[in-house]
Amino acid sequence: MHICYIDEAGCPGYLPANNTEIQPVLIIAGLALPKEALDSISRQFIKIKQQYLYGETRPNSRHQDALNELKGADLRKAIREGNKSIASKAHKLAQQLLDTLIAHGAELYGQVIIKVPDDKFNGTQLYAEAMMRIAKSYHQLLDKELSNGLIVADFRGSEINSKVAQPISLAMWEQKNTFPRFELPPTFGNSNSHVGLQIADIIISSLLMPLALAKFGEQIPESKHKKEEDLQNFKRYEKRLKTLCRDGSSLVAVQSNHPDIAIKFL
């Protein structure tokens, strides 16, 4: 069995202009972890997190430190704005985490949405479409492994959760079930209770977001969220991320006004 943890970075609000405070990119991604490896991945992640926060592992505080979430946005800031020592610690955590995921056969799927200034932007609809794309890629893994699976997405609010999960739920209720290997329709969890969601947040917010801002800088000129050093700081992770993304094929980028035209991100 595999469990796919889905999280997002950016906001679902429309972009009135490129130079506003609104984030110009919305990323929705899912990280599929083999259930039999979940305990090992969780324990290794907690150790990596403890070493980052405290400089040592803390066996007696493992449960407490699992609940204390380390946000990907904070790691991104540490790499971007921290001194050499702080940035080095954040890079070490990211590298160790990616290596752990690769060693345990994790897979990453996702959609990077580059916003075009347009008041017709529908973030919830685009989120639902991205969820469907992730579900289809994830189901291919389950077919390949002859495995069953479950989607656990980060809780965002009952109404929004219902809207983004509904297309997948309906597809499961069709006469010919589109997702026969899914145990249940998508469910939602709190990230401080799910290590998988915490890991997904770090991958998406601290690595994919700055890479997206760097790669699509020409489409989002004057954005206050870009940093000149982003490509230099985060390009080192492309090879590892590509390995997680089926050699790059399961992570795509689209423009918000043409979400049906997808290109490989890595």
Q: How many domains does the chain have?
A: 1
Q: Determine the pLDDT at residue 225.
A: 83
Q: Name residue, tokens 């940093």.
A: 227
Tens-digit pLDDT string for the chain (266 aa): 999 999 999 988 888 888 888 899 999 999 999 999 999 999 999 999 999 999 998 988 888 888 888 999 999 999 999 899 999 999 999 999 999 999 999 999 999 999 988 778 899 999 999 999 999 999 999 999 999 999 999 998 888 899 999 999 999 988 788 999 999 999 999 988 899 999 999 999 999 999 999 998 788 777 778 888 898 899 999 999 999 999 889 999 999 988 889 999 98
pLDDT of residue 84: 93
CA 99 to chain centre: 16
**HEC-encoded secondary structure of the chain:** CEEEEEEEECCCCCCCCCCCCCCCEEEEEEEEEEHHHHHHHHHHHHHHHHHHHHCCCCHHHHHHHHHCCCCHHHHHHHHHHCCHHHHHHHHHHHHHHHHHHHHCCCEEEEEEEECCCCCCCCHHHHHHHHHHHHHHHHHHHHHHHCCCEEEEEECCCHHHHHHHHHHHHHHHHCCCCCCCCECCCCEEECHHHCHHHHHHHHHHHHHHHHHHHHHCCCCCCCCCCCCCCHHHHHHHHHHHHHHHCCCCCCEEEEECCEEEEEEECC
Domain extent, residue 208, equals 2-264
For residue 141, what is the domain's CATH number?
3.30.420.10
Query: How high is the pLDDT of residue 114?
Result: 93
